[in-house]
Structure 1
Amino acid sequence: MTKTINLVTHSGQFHADDIFSTALLNLYFKHKEPKTKLKYKRSRIAADIAAADIVYDVGYVYNPKKMRFDHHQNEAGLARENGVKYAAFGLVFKHFGSELIGMISGEKNKKVIADIFETVEKKLVQHIDGMDNGQLTYTQNFKGVDIFTVDNYYRICKDIIDTSNTRLLDKKFFELVKLSESMVGNVILYAIHKEKEKVLAVKAYKKSKDKRIIICDKFYNFNFNKFPEPLMTVYPDTLEGWNAKVVEKGEELYDARFYFPESWRGLVDAELEKACGVKGAKFCHKSGFLIVNKTKEGLMKMIDLALKK
């Protein structure tokens, strides 16, 4: 006989919080108990909430042992150390996330799983939680530009529906759950990949003789600003040639420790060869953060000249 798990979240207008919580639970049980049937109900009725196996974003109770994950009650401990308050998504992820990561990655090391967990928290979960609690996790840098986030998109999807039409609201809710399931899965895969790349990147750092220039066998999605010396990374291009990319000062900042000379910027091929005096020079980004040469030898000559300038 097929096992059935009854899950309840609130009815009425939906938000990214309850949508992503549903998506995460779908992913978890697909990996944990693929034959189990999940029966969802959107309701605020006390009897429905009491009868459910798992309740989230409704019910005014946070008790993981009883599978209750609401955040609307006045309760201590519903905020992270950085001040971002927990919403249902964060509470559900806090309880199910590490195990889900382990199932997807096959990883057994608790420290590695914890690092992957933190990446998913930073990249996705805290943004959804913050917005649901009225906390902005971004800054608006330009006037006349409306902020477009996942949360805002889901609000748009809600606002195009007559909120008195519960059938259409439910239909759109589960449509967005499918989209969110893909997002959650991809962010977890990204975090797993990033953790693997970190191990290889650290090896490349240790092997590089001149710690200002990190020689890699491929591009690594890793910011070498974790170390004090690196100014740039060198790696083969996916098509042809070799690239040198500067190391950024922060994780999300477009501000680097080093830039290639202004006289090279925006130039390509013959013009760049003439400007730098190195054969095979192909490209220098107009912002000065990337150069390309046809050969590794040529690229290293360009780097040597740039460092002397």
Structure 2
Amino acid sequence: MLIGTHHGTFHADDVFAVAMLKQIYPNADIVRSRDPEILRRCDIVVDVGHGKYDHHTNEKVYRENGLPYASAGLIWRDFGAQVLATQEAGDASDILIKAIDERLIQGIDAIDNGVEIEKDAKLKTVSELIGGFNPTWHSHADEHAAFAAAVAFATQILTNQIKSEIARLAAVELVASAYEHRLYKEFLILETFCPWSESLFNMDLAKEVLYVIFPDKSGQYRIQVVPKQLGSFEARKPLPEQWAGKEGDELGSLIGIPDAVFCHPARFIAGAKSKDSILIMAQLALQN
């Protein structure tokens, strides 16, 4: 198997495209050239050659949302399910494939196509970090070695994103069940910690839930505020001001809970050693 792409300065879209294909074909050789004769010998060519996976043409392919594909998106579109299969992702559902596209690939594609997007500035950082692997103008470093390093970096980013999306989607039912069976409309009580914010915002349209309660990995319990908006630091109802920054006995004496552990100075999260105590803290915060 030969995977072809262009030589010279590389960008996140061609690096990620190669990283995806290397997940499926780990023994494939990478050929970096713009020579048509050399590229013709390759089994798959990305980001060069005016073929199926080169977006540098006047006949661009667009997503339903109007965002044009770059080579990363075109490869993900056609090979995403196979990439997920290598990650033990189980059934590579259309939901998961779409989620990876929306949260990682679209940002990369947009930047390579010169499309400004406001959504998630972190995606631009990914492209900038990949670009940083290119040898500097006054360097004599091997560009092919630099490309290989960038592919390895992109592979880890892709793997982490897939794991994160699998975990998020797996948590939706847990959050939905906890939301449906609330004893108090203001509290979402999780029996195990899981990603909850996006699922809760999709369910809690009336914005009733103020605090999320869950156990941490040490066996203690946490109460966390629900933000006013997804990704915001402003809470629907912050924890009490007098708790801010207090820990252990000082916090316990203040609120009458001996096993209180801490309250963050920003008042967005607090902890106690037992579930009963964290529920009392939740009630106190609600009444405050």
TM-score by length of 1: 0.81
1:296 equivalent in alignment to 2:272: no
| 2:111 matches 1:131 | yes
Q: 2:126 aligns with which of 150, 161, 176?
A: 150
User: Percent identity, aligned pairs only?
Assistant: 28
Q: Which of residues 135, 158, 168 is equivalent to 1:194?
A: 168
How far the C-alpha of 1:7 sits from its partner, in A, is 1.9
Once residues 205 and 43 of structure 1 are traced to their aligned partners in structure 2, the CA distance between those partners, rounded to angstroms, is 55
Aligned length: 282
Secondary structure of 2:238's counterpart equals: coil
| Structure 2 letter corresponding to 1:237 | D
Is it true that 1:70 corresponds to 2:54 in the alignment? yes
Amino acid across the alignment from 2:218: L
CA distance in 1 between partners of 2:229 and 2:68 (Å): 24
Matches of 1:306 and 1:286, distance apart in 2: 15
Whichever residue aligns with residue 260 of structure 2, its letter is A
Task: Describe the shift of the 1:248–1:117 C-alpha distance in structure 2 as closer, same or farther (beyond 3 A).
Answer: farther
3-state SS of 1:205 partner: helix
Correspondence list, 1:49-198, <5 A: 49-61=39-51, 68-79=52-63, 81=65, 83-108=66-91, 113-137=93-117, 149-160=125-136, 162=138, 168-198=142-172
- Match of 1:184, SS state, is helix
Superposed, which structure 2 residues align to 1:222-233 within 5 Å? 222-223=196-197, 224-228=200-204, 229-233=208-212
- In 1, Cα distance between the equivalents of 2:98 and 2:119? 22
Q: 1:92-135, CA deviations, whole angstroms, 9 ceiling, x for partnerless residues?
A: 11111133224534533x7xx22222332233212222222234
Residues 17 and 87 in structure 1, CA contact (< 8 A), matched pair in contact too: yes
Q: Which residue of 2 aligns with 1:234?
A: 213
**Residues 161 and 169 in structure 1, CA contact (< 8 A), matched pair in contact too:** no
Gapped regions of structure 2 (runs ≥ 5): none
Instruction: Measure how far apart 1:136 and its partner are.
Output: 4.8
Cα separation, 1, equivalents of 2:238 and 2:98: 31
**Distance across 1 between alignment mates of 2:120 and 2:194:** 30
d(CA) in 2 for partners of 1:42 and 1:162? 21
Alignment of 1:37-52 (within 5 A): 37-52=27-42
Deviations 1:256-289 (A, max 9, x none): 3221111211111222223333332221111111
Q: In the aligned structure 1, how far is the partner of 2:14 from the partner of 2:284?
A: 55
Work out whether residues 3 and 45 of structure 2, in 8 Å CA contact, stay in contact via their aligned partners in 1: yes
Instruction: Name the CA distance, whole Å, in 2 between partners of 1:210 and 1:140.
Output: 34
Q: Normalising by the residue count of structure 2, what TM-score does the alignment of the two structures yield?
A: 0.87
Moved more, 234-243 or 284-293: 234-243
1:183 and 1:297 map into 2 onto residues whose CA distance is: 39
**2:258 is matched with which residue?**
279
Q: Aligned equivalents of 2:167 and 2:286: distance in 1?
A: 32
Please give the per-residue CA displacement for 1:218-276, whole angstroms capped at 9, x wherever unaligned. Answer: 21112122222322211122224211112234443323322111121111122222333
Equivalent residue letter for 2:102: K
Distance 1:121 1:46, change over 3 A: same
Aligned Cα RMSD in Å?
2.6
